[in-house]
């Protein structure tokens, strides 16, 4: 008996299952598609054609009635009809232009795309689409995540947790402060994204950026360009070729990768805190949810791992974007196909933010485990304040003395306080310690957390206020 040959998929009515990109399949999100789909790209370009028509009317090249007709027609076109037209034109912008013209009376048709080159439309539409996606999709989702983290951070502002550097116990912090650092980092990236998206430029300067075509019809091409772009809220690129310079998009994509990296960093940390031997947090499992197909006891941190995986893809797109900085002379087409993948980075960051917000809003915190882990080193984490106090009272090799006592405590499995308080080599200094100073060594988990709680509340309240 042999296995039957593999059956290849036939298209289904549900396009999610016909997709190649997981963003259009497994990770499909209707809200993301609203802003970043191919359909939205086409409709945005049609919208720019309408803005051009209003600019033509403003400068007396066509009537206001014609501009309104073109605007209405640009809103009626179907992306399916554009795709069908492109089979003939073999040109995506020309297909949009022809499809709009079919919706117009003959007298209005010449004014569609009048005086424009394709990338007056494409570059301007890309800037508008990406700016809108950042402002209305990406930033709101990041803000939701930031506020969830801020709420959690304030709740656990005083919950002591061991701080870890190089994977080793360092000194105490609070779980709230751990989260607050991400509140701040996300806020910084959100501000940068807002500014960079707002700085995206458009153009109506023609085939090589020198306003050749429109100069035939208007006396002030710069004013014309500004007027057209004003209808969609964009500023002209100070200097363009056939295309808007790539740097604005690249900087925005770079910052998207930074935001994704911050989310991945948080996910790495939360994933590690779920290790069986640490167990300080847990992803909440829903009824019927499976952790492993074979190891039934497992509760895998799969949401955090998913976020980390998406971050890798966002970072990879940064390389693609930076390679588009070079376009030969006044332009070539080497960036055309690769730039179509820009939207995936915006979609991925939006998806990451939503997933991370969902899981963080339901996270389970084990404060007992945090306490248990604090005591694993028997107070050796007080080695830092011990050395500082010894130095304060004149010990010339305080760091070495503190290190030796901490190692002795760990080897004997007793507290650092017990060893230090009985150590003859530091006795003359120990007697000078105040009771408050000795408490730092006896109970660092309660007396050596610095400004963790105060900084947590400051960061979170500031973020809530700015929101």
What Cα–Cα distance (Å) separates residue 87 from each residue in 19, 82, 97, 351? Answer: 21, 9, 14, 33
3-state secondary structure of 106: coil
CATH number at residue 452: 1.10.40
The residue from 47, 118, 166, 297 that is catalytic is 166
pTM tops 0.75, yes or no: yes
pLDDT of residue 11: 67
Look-up of token digits 């940068």: 192
Q: What are phi and psi of 369, to 5 degrees?
A: -65, -40
pLDDT, tens digit, 9 for 90 and up, residues 121-164: 999 999 999 999 999 999 999 999 999 999 999 999 999 999 99
Domain ends where: 355, 371, 387?
371
Burial class (CB in 10 A: 0-12, 13-18, 19+), 275: exposed
**H-run or E-run covering 162:** strand 160-165
Helix, strand or coil, per DSSP, at residue 202: strand
Q: What is the pLDDT of residue 17?
A: 65
Same domain, residue pair 310 and 412:
no
> Where among 306, 337, 371 does a domain terminate?
371
Query: Domain of 64: which CATH number?
Result: 1.10.275.10
39 shares its domain with 142: no
The residue among 200, 206, 205, 211 whose CA lies nearest residue 235 is: 200
What pLDDT is recorded for position 4?
Answer: 72
- Decide if 16 is inside a domain: no
Cβ atoms of residues 128 and 44 within 8 Å: yes
- The per-residue pLDDT for 271 is 95
Which one, of 385, 418, 414, lies nearest residue 402 by Cα?
A: 385
The DSSP element (H or E) to which 86 belongs, if any, is helix 79-89
pLDDT tens digits, one per residue of 161-210: 999 999 999 999 999 999 999 999 999 999 999 999 999 999 999 999 99
Is there a single domain that holds both residue 160 and residue 266? Answer: yes
Between vectors from CA 237 to CA 63 and to CA 342, what angle results, nearest 5°? Answer: 100
At residue 29, the 3 state secondary structure works out as coil
Q: How far is Cα 86 from Cα 101, in angstroms, rounded to an integer?
A: 14
Q: Can you give the pLDDT at residue 302?
A: 78
**Res 296: pLDDT:** 47
Q: Same structural domain for residues 80 and 206? A: no
CA distance 231 to 17: 38
CA distances from 240 to 122, 123, 128, 445 (A): 13, 10, 17, 60
Q: Give the pLDDT confidence score for residue 15 in this predicted structure.
A: 67
C-beta separation of 248 from 201 below 8 A:
yes
Q: Is residue 3 part of a domain?
A: no
Residues of the chain with pLDDT under 50: 293, 295-297
**Structural domain that includes position 412:** 377-458
Q: How many CB atoms lie within 10 A of CB 325?
A: 12
- Of 73, 95, 111, the residue that ends a domain is 111
**Are 183 and 106 in the same domain?**
no
Measured CA to CA, the distance from residue 144 to residue 356 in angstroms comes to 10
Give the list of residues 6+ apart from residue 112 with CB closer than 8 angstroms, or none.
49, 53, 70, 97, 100, 101, 104
Are 57 and 143 in the same domain?
Answer: no
* Contact of 79 with 43, CB cutoff 8 Å: yes
Structural domain includes residue 24: no
Do residues 38 and 154 both lie within one domain?
no
Residue 21 lies in a domain: no
The b/e string for 8-41 (b: 16+ C-beta within 10 A; e otherwise) is eeeeeeeeeeeeeeebbeebbbeebeebbbeebb
**Are the beta carbons of 175 and 360 closer than 8 angstroms?**
no
Own/partner long-range contacts of 429-437 (Cβ < 8 Å, ≥24 apart) = 429/389, 429/390, 429/393, 429/394, 429/395, 432/393, 433/389, 433/393, 437/385, 437/389
Q: Are residues 42 and 178 both part of a single domain?
A: no
- Give every CB contact of residue 84 below 8 A, 6+ residues apart in sequence: none
Please tell me the total count of domains within the chain.
Answer: 3
Q: Does residue 428 form part of some domain?
A: yes
Alpha-carbon distance of 17 to 389, in angstroms, equals 66
Q: pLDDT value at position 295?
A: 44
Residue 7 lies in a domain: no
In a domain, 155, yes or no: yes
> 444 and 300, same structural domain?
no
- How far apart are the C-alpha atoms of 221 and 397, rounded to whole Å? 75
**Among candidate residues 195, 175, 355, the one with its CA nearest the CA of residue 260:** 355
- 329 annotated active-site: no
**Are 92 and 189 in the same domain?**
no
CATH classification at residue 137 = 1.20.200.10
pLDDT at res. 335:
78
Q: Are residues 258 and 310 in the same domain?
A: yes
Supply the pLDDT for residue 310. 94
Running DSSP on this structure, what letter comes out for residue 277? T
Q: Is 63 a catalytic residue?
A: no
CA 396 → CA 134, 405, 409, distances in Å? 57, 16, 22
430 and 410 assigned to the same domain: yes
Catalytic residue among 91, 292, 326, 338: 292
Burial of residue 157 (number of CB atoms within 10 Å: 0-12, 13-18, 19+)? buried
Residue 130 lies in a domain: yes
């Amino acid at each position: 008996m042999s296995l039957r040959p593999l059956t290849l998929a036939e298209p289904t009515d549900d396009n999610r299952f016909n997709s190649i990109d997981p963003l259009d399949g497994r990770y499909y999100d209707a809200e993301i598609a609203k802003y970043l789909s191919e359909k939205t790209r086409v409709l945005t370009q049609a919208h720019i054609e309408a803005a051009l028509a209003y600019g033509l009317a403003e400068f007396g090249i066509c009537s206001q009635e014609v501009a309104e007709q073109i605007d209405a027609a640009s809103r009626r076109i179907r992306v399916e009809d554009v795709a069908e037209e492109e089979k003939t034109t073999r040109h995506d912008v020309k297909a949009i232009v022809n499809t709009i013209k079919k919706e117009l009376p003959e007298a209005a048709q010449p004014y569609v795309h009048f005086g424009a080159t394709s990338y007056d439309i494409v570059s301007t539409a890309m800037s508008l689409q990406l700016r809108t996606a950042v402002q209305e999709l990406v930033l709101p989702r990041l803000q939701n995540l930031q506020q969830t983290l801020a709420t959690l951070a304030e709740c656990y502002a005083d919950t002591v947790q061991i701080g870890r550097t190089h994977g080793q116990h360092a000194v105490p912090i609070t779980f709230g402060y751990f989260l607050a650092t991400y509140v701040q980092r996300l806020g910084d990236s959100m501000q940068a994204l807002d500014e960079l998206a707002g700085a995206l430029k458009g153009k109506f300067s023609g085939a090589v950026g020198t306003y050749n075509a429109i100069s035939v019809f208007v006396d002030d091409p710069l004013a014309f360009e500004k007027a057209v772009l004003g209808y969609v809220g964009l500023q002209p690129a100070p200097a363009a070729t056939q295309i808007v310079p790539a740097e604005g998009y690249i900087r925005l994509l770079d910052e998207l990768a930074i935001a994704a990296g911050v989310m991945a960093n948080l996910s790495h940390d939360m994933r590690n805190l779920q290790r069986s031997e640490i167990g300080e947090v847990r992803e909440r499992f829903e009824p019927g949810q499976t952790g492993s197909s074979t190891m039934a006891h497992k509760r895998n941190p799969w949401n955090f791992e998913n976020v980390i995986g998406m971050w890798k893809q966002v970072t990879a797109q940064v390389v693609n974007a930076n390679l588009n900085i070079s376009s030969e002379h006044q332009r070539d087409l080497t960036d055309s196909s690769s730039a179509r993948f820009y939207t995936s980075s915006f979609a991925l960051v939006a998806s990451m933010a939503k997933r991370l917000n969902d899981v963080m809003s339901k996270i389970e915190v084990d404060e007992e485990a945090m306490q248990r882990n604090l005591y694993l080193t028997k107070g050796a984490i007080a080695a830092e304040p011990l050395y500082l106090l010894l130095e304060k009272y004149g010990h010339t090799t305080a760091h070495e003395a503190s290190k030796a006592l901490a190692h002795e405590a760990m080897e004997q499995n007793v507290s650092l306080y017990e060893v230090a308080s009985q150590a003859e080599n530091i006795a003359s200094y120990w007697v000078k310690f105040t009771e408050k100073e000795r408490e730092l060594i006896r109970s660092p988990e309660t007396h050596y957390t610095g400004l963790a709680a105060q900084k947590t509340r400051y960061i979170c309240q500031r973020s809530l206020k700015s929101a």
